[in-house]
Amino acid sequence: MHISDDPTFTYMVSSRHEAAHRILQERPELLAPVFRTLDVTLPEKAAVEVLTPDATEIHPLERCVDSVLRVDSSDSDGFLLAIEARGSRDPDKAVRWGHYLSFLAAKYELPALLLVVCQNKKTADWAAGPFRIGVEGWSALSVHPLVLEPGNVPVILDPDEAAQGLALAVFSALTHGHDPTTPAALKALAPAIGAADPRLARYYSELLDIGLGETPARDIWRNEMSVGTYFPGRGTLIEQTFLKGQAHGEAAGLAEGVLRILEHRGIAVRSETRRRISECTYRDTLRHWLDRAFTVSQADELLDELFAVEEPDR
């Protein structure tokens, strides 16, 4: 079950709020363990499609749900999954959620579910509802959201378990950002991400940087790893590391990025190795080193992996 094998197909994650729901949109393999957690049946052979989150009927009345997925299966009828991320209570959401579900069900002629992702129990207790819309003594409409929160999302502390279900481990870390278990969970997650494909590793690393927000957990994560950027303009440590040397040219910037990553990870670099990296003018080689700097245990491993290149970039 997947939308895209390329984890970098979107570049729009910009906040902790957005990261909490967009990971479900971008890594739909999460739906299977999430639905098991919520005790809701998900078709075994399911195909997931991202739909527009716009639920606007009349131009002045703008309504927009965070994410909308369409889940289809050859074995059963499909359904819609509207996803909202909430960091606090919002008394106006009851009516809006009722509108979202009714509008989407009518537009696509499919049943609709609402999933609310919360990062604290107080908000989760409120989000569980039910929200009744009507007059006193009579409910014309009742909204019963599904709720994911720290209490029902498992904490993953085993690196092997994290590696086997990387998307779930990342989602768990995002959900438990304020928990005392967070440092141990992030330490388990770091080697799992480090062993993943470099592009996927870079994507997840920066998603966590953004999704953990201004929390102590973010500082812990930044101490665990540093990579190239897939969310430009967001001011993450990864982006700052990569951009610092660009004024000296792309090759110089890449070389500085490699050395900064190694330094940030606490890996010693011999003077000769530092010189060879700094003086390298082959951008393909430097990009390869930038990816590998995330996972190597010794700086000299980068030079051992030098691959054939053509003429140096001018």
pLDDT for 191-210, tens place per residue?
888 778 777 887 888 888 88
Task: Give the pLDDT of residue 213.
Answer: 81
Task: Give the pLDDT of residue 14.
Answer: 55
pTM check: above 0.85:
no
- Give me the sign of the Cα torsion angle 119, 125, 126, 129: positive
Cβ-Cβ contacts under 8 Å for 150 (sequence gap 6 or more): 119, 120, 121, 124, 175, 176, 178, 179
Q: Count of CB atoms within 10 A of residue 112's CB?
A: 20
Is 142 in a helix, a strand, or coil? Answer: strand
Q: Which two tokens stand for residue 240?
A: 């700052």
Task: Give the pLDDT of residue 80.
Answer: 92
Task: Give the pLDDT of residue 113.
Answer: 93
Task: Give the pLDDT of residue 240.
Answer: 61
Q: Is-contact 258 286, C-beta < 8 A?
A: yes
* pLDDT beneath 70, residues of the chain: 1-14, 52-63, 225-250, 305-314
C-alpha span between 11 and 167 (Å, rounded): 18
Q: Which two tokens stand for residue 129?
A: 């509802």
Task: Give the pLDDT of residue 92.
Answer: 82
C-alpha span between 139 and 72 (Å, rounded): 31
Of 93, 65, 91, 90, which Cα lies nearest the Cα of 80?
65
Q: Domain extents for the chain?
A: 16-148, 159-304
Spell out where 19-153 has E strands: 46-51, 67-73, 79-86, 112-118, 131-135, 138-143, 146-148
Of 280, 266, 278, 272, which Cα lies nearest the Cα of 312?
280
Phi, psi of 213 (to 5 degrees): 60, -160
Output the DSSP codes for 256-307. HHHHHHHHHTT----HHHHHHHHH---HHHHHHHHHHTTT-SSTHHHHHT--
Task: Give the pLDDT of residue 62.
Answer: 43
